[in-house]
Amino acid sequence: MKVLIVDDDSFIRESLKVLIGMDPELTVTGTAGDGNEALAQLMEGLEADVVLMDIRMPGCGGVEGTARIKEVFPQIAVLMLTTFDDDEYIIEALRNGASGYLLKNIPPDRIIQGIKTVYEGNMLIHPDIARKLASFLQPAAHSATAESQPLEGYGLTKAELAVVAAIAEGHSNKEIAAKLFLSEGTIKNYITDILSKLGLRDRTQIAIFYLKNGHG
């Protein structure tokens, strides 16, 4: 798993590089000081499966950096490093395609596990911030628009609705499969159908869609 570290603090970049490099399954292929520098390195051929990016940086911060990277490299997972004061930034980063976020003060092994989680295509939302995320999105869910409708109105089956709810809770495919007594392959097929029916790009957008439609 190839990782690109993006942070404006050189000490943090080097510390994360050493930390991540201790895991035999992870390789740090580069570091950058902001989103623009990260995108430039990727455009020049730097390989990365996961971008670990600070959400607040001078120049091109994590929110804008996520949008720019995902536009050109949609296959790369972006994992944000945040604090509890970054709620609005987190929401925008998720809307721009981030696969999840971690709090900066968590133990090192959790950062490594988080990188592996988003690499596998899963979404990572810290439970404490997930509750705040729901409350932030809730007002938007109640603003009446001609396009808004319950999830049931999109032709989702009961099983698909259960999968959507589980994704919004941050569960991995393996956890959802165990919860619904189905195989991981079946869950992946459900997610493909859900994305098609809702016209969405990835599981992060599924979670945002679920919360915005009043199910948070």
The residue-averaged pLDDT of 146-160 equals: 71
pLDDT value, residue 137: 54
0.85 exceeded by pTM:
no
Q: What are phi and psi of 189, to 5 degrees?
A: -65, -40
Give residue-wise pLDDT tens across range 165-215: 888 877 888 889 999 999 999 999 999 999 998 888 788 778 878 877 655
Read off the pLDDT band of 142 (50, 70, 90).
very low
- d(C-alpha 51, C-alpha 129), whole Å: 20
Distance of CA 9 to the CA centre of its chain: 22
What residue ranges define each of the domains in the chain, with the CATH number in brackets? Answer: 2-124 (3.40.50.2300), 134-215 (1.10.10.10)
What tens digit of pLDDT does each residue of 28-81 get? 999 999 999 999 999 999 999 999 999 999 999 999 999 999 999 989 999 999
Reduced to 3 states (helix: H, G, I; strand: E, B; else coil), residue 80 is strand
